[in-house]
């Protein structure tokens, strides 16, 4: 069996991965808070863990992997959006959820086994709070329930920060109702017009950190293998999750491996609305194919900071043009269902080394373009597609890739002009035939003539 290695944030090193149970490898990844359209950071994280999920399924068998990625549908950001727009809370979360799912499909992100919504697990959250109170890890103050960080000697071990550093690096509310300024709310009161649920501590709602602890425990158990998310979640979110879960269930470790994706930058600067460099996924996909964005994410090692540039996105599009051109040229040979190459699997098993894995795709496509016999072309094409699948690439039809995502009316107009050009050539009206070619070229449409007819693609 292939040995997987992952960078474990808890130990600050690359660790050999040994699942608790090889027959049930379990992974939890923090999903989005559904209050607005997904931004680039919301897209990068699921693409990375999609590759890890594919690798785990390959090594252990899909039936032996359980992948959970949650949806946060109760949060102050959602409430603020409601106050800002006047839209009902349910309308906001449903619309945003559907946008997110649509983005994930375009990026070829496989569905996790479970995509739980926080509002469906309120009872589990209340039970978790009761356990924390019983274990003296939480206390009630001014109608709120707070986690007592001083009750956990290991608090800060995930982020590697001292209490002084944690207080300085987080937006900590200094309040009289807290025993320690770092104590965080796990249940807060709600106003009558705010989302809330009845509880032993009154009408209210859970704290953000508590939600993931309750959902992961319910679906994966108190001990599971991998917990993932962006590096920005290490503190306070993941630190607080680990403290809650270990506090509620003494003797457990919660997640055994903590895996985090690097920060997303835009042209070398942190993405921020105030800097005017904030992009939603749909803004990018209006101008570029989703697969190009997916490929771009994979060109940088997941653990490193990722720098998004439009130049890089255009280069990713060019790489995919090369890949799809090879598939078009070899459309006449069949592709068999084969296992991905050992070297590609080894690259991914080495802490998801996607840049190295992509280099193997380039090697294979170069060999495919040089192959002469139908047998060799079929073998290389089969290997090329199998390896691409592991990275979630080449899921588009090659012909459609070059035609882009234009409307049916646009495609019909192009086909009409191609037909007119064919008639002009038949009638030896070379001037008209050339004029049509030039007209289409001006619109970014390239014609390719062959003995079997004329095909077209967008530049």
Residue pair 185/195 in contact (Cβ under 8 Å)? The answer is: no
Which H or E run includes 16?
A: strand 13-16
Pick from 342, 346, 388, 395: nearest CA to 365: 388
What integer pLDDT is reported at residue 193 of this predicted model? Answer: 87
Residue pair 89/35 in contact (Cβ under 8 Å)? The answer is: no
Residue pair 302/6 in contact (Cβ under 8 Å)? The answer is: no
What integer pLDDT is reported at residue 308 of this predicted model? Answer: 97
Instruction: Give the max Cα distance, the chain.
Output: 91
Q: Same CATH topology for 5-261 and 266-401?
A: no
User: Helices in 330-373 by DSSP H: which ranges?
Assistant: 342-349, 354-370
CATH code of 266-401, in short, is 1.10.730.10
What integer pLDDT is reported at residue 124 of this predicted model? Answer: 98
> How many Cβ atoms are within 10 Å of 285's Cβ, its own excluded?
18
Q: How confident is the model at residue 441 (pLDDT cuts 50, 70, 90)?
A: confident
Q: What residues are paired with 224 via a beta bridge?
A: 255
Q: Tell me how many degrees the CA angle 209-212-213 measures, rounded to the nearest 5.
A: 85
Q: How confident is the model at residue 296 (pLDDT cuts 50, 70, 90)?
A: very high
Q: Is the pLDDT of residue 358 over 90?
A: yes
**pLDDT (mean) for 341-353:** 98
What integer pLDDT is reported at residue 410 of this predicted model? Answer: 67
CATH code of 5-261, in short, is 3.40.50.620
What integer pLDDT is reported at residue 251 of this predicted model? Answer: 95
What integer pLDDT is reported at residue 450 of this predicted model? Answer: 73
Pick from 323, 332, 311, 335: nearest CA to 391: 323
Cα separation, 269 vs 295, in Å, equals 21
Q: Give tens-digit pLDDT for 175-211.
A: 788 999 999 999 999 999 899 999 999 999 999 999 9
DSSP class of 70: -
Cα separation, 26 vs 37, in Å, equals 28
Residue boundaries of the structural domains of the chain: 5-261, 266-401, 406-458
Tell me the residue ranges of DSSP E strands in 170-305: 184-189, 204-206, 224-230, 255-261, 264-266, 269-270
**pLDDT (mean) for 101-112:** 98
Residue pair 327/314 in contact (Cβ under 8 Å)? The answer is: no
**pLDDT (mean) for 75-103:** 94
CB proximity list for 384: less than 8 A, separation 6 or greater: 323, 326, 327, 361, 364, 365, 368, 394
What integer pLDDT is reported at residue 275 of this predicted model? Answer: 83
Cα separation, 421 vs 414, in Å, equals 11
Report the chain's mean pLDDT, rounded to a whole number. 93
Q: How confident is the model at residue 452 (pLDDT cuts 50, 70, 90)?
A: low
Q: Is the pLDDT of residue 172 over 80?
A: no
Q: Is the pLDDT of residue 356 over 80?
A: yes
Q: Is the pLDDT of residue 406 over 80?
A: no
Q: What residues are paired with 308 via a beta bridge?
A: 266
CB proximity list for 390: less than 8 A, separation 6 or greater: 51, 54, 55, 58, 340, 344, 345, 348, 357
Residue pair 75/36 in contact (Cβ under 8 Å)? The answer is: no
> How many Cβ atoms are within 10 Å of 55's Cβ, its own excluded?
21
**pLDDT (mean) for 237-254:** 97
């Amino acid at each position: 069996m292939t040995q997987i290695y992952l960078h474990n944030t808890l130990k600050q090193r690359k660790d050999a991965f040994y699942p608790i149970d090889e027959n049930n490898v379990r992974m939890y990844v923090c999903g989005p808070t559904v209050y607005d359209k997904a931004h680039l950071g919301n897209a990068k994280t699921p693409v990375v863990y999609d590759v890890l999920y594919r690798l785990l399924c390959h090594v252990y068998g899909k039936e032996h992997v359980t992948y959970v990625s949650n949806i946060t549908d109760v949060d102050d950001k959602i409430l603020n959006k409601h106050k800002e727009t006047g839209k009902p809370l349910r309308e906001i979360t449903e619309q945003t959820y559907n946008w997110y799912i649509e983005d994930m499909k375009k990026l070829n992100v496989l569905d996790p086994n479970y995509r739980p919504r926080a509002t469906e697990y309120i009872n589990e959250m209340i039970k978790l709070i009761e356990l924390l109170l019983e274990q003296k890890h939480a206390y009630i103050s001014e109608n709120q329930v707070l986690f007592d960080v001083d009750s956990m000697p290991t608090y800060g071990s995930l982020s590697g920060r001292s209490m002084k550093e944690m207080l300085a690096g987080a937006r900590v509310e200094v309040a009289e109702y807290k025993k320690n300024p770092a104590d965080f709310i796990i249940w807060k009161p709600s106003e009558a017009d705010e989302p809330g649920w009845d509880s032993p501590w009154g009408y209210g709602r859970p704290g953000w950190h508590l939600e993931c602890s309750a959902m992961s425990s319910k679906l994966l158990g108190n001990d599971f293998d991998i917990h993932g998310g962006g590096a920005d979640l290490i503190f306070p979110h993941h630190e607080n999750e680990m403290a809650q879960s270990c506090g509620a269930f003494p003797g457990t470790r919660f997640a055994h491996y903590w895996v985090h994706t690097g920060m997303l930058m835009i042209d070398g600067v942190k993405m921020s609305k105030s800097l005017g460099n904030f992009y939603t996924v749909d803004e990018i996909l209006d101008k570029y194919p989703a697969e190009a964005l997916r490929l771009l994410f994979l060109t940088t090692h997941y653990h490193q900071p990722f720098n998004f540039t439009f130049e890089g996105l255009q280069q990713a599009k060019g790489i995919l043009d090369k890949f799809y051109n090879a598939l078009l040229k070899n459309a006449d040979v069949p592709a068999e269902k084969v296992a991905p190459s050992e070297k590609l699997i080894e690259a991914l098993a080495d802490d998801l080394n996607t840049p190295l894995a992509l280099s193997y795709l380039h090697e294979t496509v170069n060999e495919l373009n040089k192959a002469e016999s139908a047998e060799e072309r079929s073998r290389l094409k089969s290997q090329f597609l199998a390896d691409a699948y592991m990275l979630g690439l080449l899921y588009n039809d090659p012909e459609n890739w070059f035609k882009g995502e234009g409307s049916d009316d646009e495609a019909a107009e192009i086909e009409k002009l191609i037909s007119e050009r064919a008639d002009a050539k038949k009638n030896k009206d070379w001037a008209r035939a050339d004029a049509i070619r030039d007209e289409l070229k001006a619109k970014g449409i390239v014609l390719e003539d062959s003995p079997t007819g004329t095909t077209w693609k967008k530049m």
